[in-house]
Structure 1
């Protein structure tokens, strides 16, 4: 962190080195806890200090964003490279209360939707009649769509125009290739970037993968889509390339306004201190 001569954190959001600035470590009038939003960087509050300062979710949220704002401000004011420790917040109560609030909101939304729009229960299946269209659960549509890639199964002239393997086997191998590529991506991208704008290529790969999962799922239910099968098959592989290219181009153009170099050094860790 920058040295302390840059001035303490003011309650009005600025910094200053003058003597009239209100320090965040100044004790309260009654001799109690400091009046600032967060303790200074060189002091670690105890559990009882944090508990005494906590006055609800609003206070915790304010402290959370005030510390983040102050860190960002001090780094932006530094003209040279600044190595620092990455400051964090205690699991209790800051992270726990925040995560519980977010989880409670989404659980409440799910309960609300399930109460207002209950799913329709259709008639029971007829065991003596095969359905006209057999489909797996919706979250397996992408895998079912890979079984319909028989147009890509080559017919080899050396085999007299026959295919090297059956279409079903080809679809199963396609599942293995896709799943294997998804599993190996984390090992290929070993960078420390945390935002898509810092790694536009891998962000584009992710967007293309999501779009491909959607298009291959639509291909799985081609009987229900009012588009010709040939056009649908072409769009299945064309749209991921288009969306991936657009994502890469947009993120590359955002680097300048994002202050790419500043944010890269902002999240670098300070090497461990030698004892």
Structure 2
């Protein structure tokens, strides 16, 4: 025979038959009671911890919403173990499983060995370094000084290295300039536009680095590399700016119960 303690831990209920409020044990979802087979499958290991984590999070969130008059940004603090560890382990296992499946089902193609006696026609780094490789090709922006007889003060490769340092420095200084607490782009349109500008510029400069493979004339591609980021930044700023007033009113109305304008 099982005592009352074991029954309470298994069913997630108190002696009166009510669901446990502390989140301990397995709590059945609303309108659904797990079968004996499901309980046995969740009896140990990662499935049980994952199930208890999501059920406890759901129940505590539900209790908080029932006790609160208004809820907009409830932040529930869970301990690192087992809640955060179980969630991170479940997500990590999922993505590792996808990578293993792709590696087994779609192995990468191994091409012919390189010829050390012949220089390839197109030399490109790995795809995630295209943007940096594109900055090394900014020779047209390197000014030719008349005082030096039309020659350049810096070599094109040195100019490209300085451009890499400037871009990386700009990215590194942004967190120190933007110290706001915004959680959505619409709350700070300017910095959202800066982010859109940076992402667009990363794509355009990456395309410029592989200009030999892009079916556009080099001059037009060079112009689009610096024009499209500004266009995308201005459009995103205008869109977020137009949405901000209505968004902030709706947010304040939920927080402070403001009456809508007549």
Match of 2:146 among 150, 157, 166: 157
Q: Is the 8 A contact 1:198 1:260 kept in 2?
A: no
Show CA shifts across 1:80-110 (max 9, x none).
xx9x995411222222222222111111111
* Count of matched residue positions in the alignment of Structure 1 and Structure 2: 223
Task: Please tell me whether residue 98 in structure 1 is matched to residue 98 in structure 2.
Answer: no
The Cα shift of 1:210 comes to 1.4
Task: Please tell me whether residue 107 in structure 1 is matched to residue 96 in structure 2.
Answer: yes
- In the alignment, the residues of structure 2 paired with residue 248 and residue 218 of structure 1 have an alpha-carbon distance, to the nearest angstrom, of 24
Residue equivalent to 1:247: 236
Residue equivalent to 2:54: 61
Residue equivalent to 2:201: 212
Show CA shifts across 1:91-150 (max 9, x none).
222222222221111111111222221111001111111111122222211111001111
Match of 2:180 among 159, 180, 191: 191
- In the alignment, the residues of structure 1 paired with residue 67 and residue 243 of structure 2 have an alpha-carbon distance, to the nearest angstrom, of 23
Greater helix share, structure number: 2
Pairwise CA RMSD:
3.1
- In the alignment, the residues of structure 1 paired with residue 189 and residue 65 of structure 2 have an alpha-carbon distance, to the nearest angstrom, of 23
Gaps of 5+ in 2: 1-11, 28-41, 43-47, 257-262
TM-score for both structures, normalised by structure 2:
0.73
Gaps of 5+ in 1: 1-26, 40-48, 266-275
Show CA shifts across 1:11-66 (max 9, x none).
xxxxxxxxxxxxxxxx955158x625x54xxxxxxxxx73x357743443243245
- SS of the equivalent of 1:252 reads helix
Question: What does residue range 10-49 of structure 1 map to in structure 2 within 5 Å?
Answer: 28=13, 30=15, 35=19, 38-39=21-22
Question: What does residue range 223-238 of structure 1 map to in structure 2 within 5 Å?
Answer: 223-238=212-227
The Cα shift of 1:238 comes to 1.5
